[in-house]
A and B are shown apart, each in its own frame.
Chain A
């Protein structure tokens, strides 16, 4: 700890406003920065630079406004103030309840940058890959010919695209998989800091936001393997009642027979219940709490045989234990002859409007990473760009005529709660998403014990300034739980060139979120938490269930920190041609030769982590296409 208050020196490469912001929100704690703290502004600059333009602009504007406020109050900019002066400036702002929510948003990248620098300082664990990655046939788009042909083009290499590609390739078709992101090997994950991977593996640097009341953070992956590279590896089978609804109410024919496809997906991904040895303290606390309450809970079924508990699922598994599709499905597809083109953003699906029998897809035009375009002609185009990217792609291809395209968006809104324990928990040592508490699943609430590397989770520590510093220093005593709710299809995806997501939380789902927060608080208190961090800026800490109930009686779901993880349903398949853009076999209506094979295909909310559901549905519709 420094003896005297000192001005924050601006490290090279960081903007002055962001330097001031980082220093004001998260001053050096009592543990001392030991060097890492000085590097936070530069890291923050990098984080902000990776954000999409609106988020970047907003972040810089917020930093600028804070700076302006400091100038108005003190005549000097934040970075030029002493620590107590900064504390008084930020404290004055934090006293205004209306600004608390805004400060919470601005805090997220600062915590992310700080968490990363702290981790770098402490020395990166360097987990060695358990085995070599199975080979993939990847070609960067700038080395792919400008003109080529295939029997089928698969747009997207995530859960759906990989499964469709494997099915079609095994069916004897010449398949080309187009992926906008790059290929990252397991070894490359081990070599780099989590945050560096974070900004590369996520679309928009992880800052995709669904606009609406309230706004939701909706991160999606962008790499060979899609979101399966960065998901938690939790593999739930689609619940029977969901399948019955899909088949009966919506007429999504493959749902009636999805069981064998789910079996196949589980076999492919080597899904098994997570062994308890590497579960970590976070998961053990969730189990203990559930046991105390007599709730139904168990280690989650995951696709990570040999998981070492690196707790880095969300930035790419550094040991290769998690069987993301680029380690499990895509190698099989490549072995059957499929080829993957990376750095290939599909500009549009080419459509021949004058074919006998109506318009027919002819191929795709692709933007190369280094500039220029390439085209691939194929009579079958499989769209598996994800529920957020598929509708814009179809629209800019002139195939967005169906009035329900882009609508019917379910996202599994989620929130998280932390509990402070007397003993160190060190939640980031163990499995990232370890235990599922299904007690309230019948009410549409699924609780999953989820811990992340510091700063990367959806839980935001309370306070600003010294209070926040103290919380950050004490983070190793926190256990975090997350809960997602089965939601109504309250969102839609707009836009042609960029996806613009609009989502308004339905009142029913807002109630479910509050129910989830109460349940998680109760679970943590039952497990022995001394206090519960609610994530609500006005009442960040409660010590008893009664206090929690009192707080929840006064807040709405809009005041929670919300995020969402599983967008589905935006090009849904079903029997009614007026309600569903795709027919029961997944073929887009109004054109021949376009198959939907990703989460957008699912006609309703899957109510569980959807990787298996997406893979099984994509497998089923690809099978139907071959038949």
Chain B
């Protein structure tokens, strides 16, 4: 895997294979029928000319002796380079732990026979316990086998996305920002770490701020930097402030924090994944982990918060600068996470278009709706795209994809909102109104001959939202 620093992993391989045959156990005078059903996964796309190591899990059945649904092992798939596809599967039979070790020997002279026949030896504690052969019944199993092939993305851990992206080009901005809600007090937190490489080619500088949104008091914030940017291997570090994988520390004004970050969930790409890997859009945002928990201390003035698994998330932005107008929402819905970015580009013509909406609903089973990020932004050549009405104190997003539609209504009361001025790499300024104690109403409906509400979530002061204008 040779993904560029900070862009995460590639794709893997998954398929299913079933084989049947016979085995003769040592000390027995008859053969028993044996069947092997495997789910095979590899961390990379199968390399037909090379060797791929894969994991296998599945079921081993030996007539009258064994039926282990939790067999597990490994495969060495090398049909051309080593001309060998080796299976090593461990399973339990009659209370004994056995290992099936065998391989197909691929020969170009008899491609079908050699690719489908798997002679093997059974071992118990390294000592042979039987021999046999399995055969892949191509007539009945080839179609299911081929159609079972998948090349799922290999979601890397959050640390794979921690490394700084900026590599020297002028006119770039890169952000690590973290928002969290203390479940005990309802206080919202916001830590923003930013590197700006000005358009005029002058030296990049790092700066940022921290803000706290107490439940019963006024919003407080303080800036740190600007400071010289020396690129750390991962995350952000400047002016005594650090945002590294797993740890956030620093101080700004009378705000001080030292938080441990515990990521939960796979990365969530709000913008299309390719736009993070190859920065072709003006900017892209993503979450190394869809949600995270924060534990530690956050002090402001005389008050100190002791956080214990406070829900929130860290997000990353890399691009040319801020949008012309934008709205952002991170809503931890308990069993789901909703991430919304709606933005109007600063480019001359594009700024006349309605906002492009990127909406991602990460559900409890790990799936993301809609499946493709482009779907919400551009729909089908513009038709059916999601819509956003940007405003304050309330902004909304609506859209439909497939058999579901969603309505999101975000309210940022003025007393819970902090207004800050952003500066783009080209010196342009924008005003951001941010609240880590926003309200949100989310309604998900499904079509069953008519629209029926599937889920409804109401967040009272725990949504994280922002609206930017110029």
A contact residues vs B (CB 8 Å cutoff): 145-149, 350, 352-354, 362, 365, 373, 375, 377
By Cβ-Cβ distance, the 4 closest A-B pairs, closest first, are A146-B119, A354-B81, A145-B131, A145-B121
A187 → chain B, closest Cβ, in Å? 29
Residues of A within 8 A of B103 (CB): 147, 375, 377
Q: Which of B50, B121, B133 contacts A354 (CB 8 A)?
A: B50
Q: Which of A148, A362, A373 contacts B128 (CB 8 A)?
A: A148
* Number of residues on chain B facing chain A (CB within 8 A): 18
Q: Is the pair A147, B82 in contact by a Cβ cutoff of 8 Å?
A: no
A291-B105 Cα distance, complex, nearest whole Å: 65
Q: Which of A145, A149, A353, A373 contacts B82 (CB 8 A)?
A: A353
Residues of B within 8 A of A146 (CB): 102, 119, 121, 131, 133
A155 → chain B, closest Cβ, in Å? 18
Q: Is the pair A147, B50 in contact by a Cβ cutoff of 8 Å?
A: no
Which residue of A is nearest B51, CB measured?
A354
Which residue of B is nearest A365, CB measured?
B105
A352-B83 Cα distance, complex, nearest whole Å: 9
Residues of B within 8 A of A365 (CB): 105
Q: Is the pair A354, B78 in contact by a Cβ cutoff of 8 Å?
A: yes
- Can you list 26 A-B contacts with CB-CB less than 8 angstroms, sorted by A residue number? A145-B119, A145-B121, A145-B128, A145-B131, A146-B102, A146-B119, A146-B131, A146-B133, A147-B102, A147-B103, A147-B119, A148-B128, A149-B101, A350-B82, A350-B83, A352-B51, A352-B81, A352-B82, A353-B81, A353-B82, A354-B50, A354-B78, A354-B81, A354-B82, A375-B103, A375-B105
A375-B133 Cα distance, complex, nearest whole Å: 13
Whether B91 sits at the interface, judged by CB under 8 Å, is no
A149-B131 Cα distance, complex, nearest whole Å: 13
Residues of A within 8 A of B121 (CB): 145-148
Within residues 119 to 145 of chain B, which ones have a CB less than 8 A from any CB in chain A?
119-121, 128, 131, 133
Which residue of B is nearest A144, CB measured?
B131
B231 → chain A, closest Cβ, in Å? 31
Residues of B within 8 A of A145 (CB): 119, 121, 128, 131
A350-B78 Cα distance, complex, nearest whole Å: 13
A360 → chain B, closest Cβ, in Å? 10
Q: Is the pair A362, B82 in contact by a Cβ cutoff of 8 Å?
A: yes
B74-100 vs A, Cβ < 8 Å mask (1 yes, 0 no): 000010011110100000000000000
Other contacts beyond A145-B121, A147-B120: 5, CB < 8 A = A146-B119, A146-B121, A352-B82, A353-B81, A375-B103
A145-B101 Cα distance, complex, nearest whole Å: 11
B388 → chain A, closest Cβ, in Å? 51
A22-B50 Cα distance, complex, nearest whole Å: 62
A148-B101 Cα distance, complex, nearest whole Å: 8
Q: Is the pair B101, A147 in contact by a Cβ cutoff of 8 Å?
A: yes
Residues of B within 8 A of A148 (CB): 121, 128
A352-B119 Cα distance, complex, nearest whole Å: 20
A145 → chain B, closest Cβ, in Å? 4
A149-B102 Cα distance, complex, nearest whole Å: 9
A354-B76 Cα distance, complex, nearest whole Å: 13
Which residue of A is nearest B102, CB measured?
A147
A350-B107 Cα distance, complex, nearest whole Å: 12
B27-68 vs A, Cβ < 8 Å mask (1 yes, 0 no): 000000000000000000000001100000000000000000
Residues of B within 8 A of A147 (CB): 101-103, 119-121, 131
A133 → chain B, closest Cβ, in Å? 26
Question: Which residue among B50, B81, B82, B133 has the maximum number of chain A CB atoms within 10 Å of its CB?
Answer: B82
B44 → chain A, closest Cβ, in Å? 14
Which residue of A is nearest B128, CB measured?
A145
A326-B128 Cα distance, complex, nearest whole Å: 25
Which residue of B is nearest A352, CB measured?
B82
A569-B260 Cα distance, complex, nearest whole Å: 68
Which residue of A is nearest B50, CB measured?
A354
A377-B101 Cα distance, complex, nearest whole Å: 11
Which residue of A is nearest B120, CB measured?
A147
A350-B86 Cα distance, complex, nearest whole Å: 14
A338 → chain B, closest Cβ, in Å? 16
Residues of B within 8 A of A375 (CB): 103, 105
A325 → chain B, closest Cβ, in Å? 26
Residues of A within 8 A of B78 (CB): 352, 354
A604-B252 Cα distance, complex, nearest whole Å: 81
A14 → chain B, closest Cβ, in Å? 40
Question: Which residue among A145, A147, A350, A365 has the maximum number of chain B CB atoms within 10 Å of its CB?
Answer: A147
A377-B81 Cα distance, complex, nearest whole Å: 16
Which residue of A is nearest B104, CB measured?
A147
A354-B86 Cα distance, complex, nearest whole Å: 16
Residues of B within 8 A of A354 (CB): 50-51, 78, 81-82
B124 → chain A, closest Cβ, in Å? 14
Residues of B within 8 A of A350 (CB): 82-84
B73 → chain A, closest Cβ, in Å? 15
A353 → chain B, closest Cβ, in Å? 6
A354-B83 Cα distance, complex, nearest whole Å: 11
B148 → chain A, closest Cβ, in Å? 25
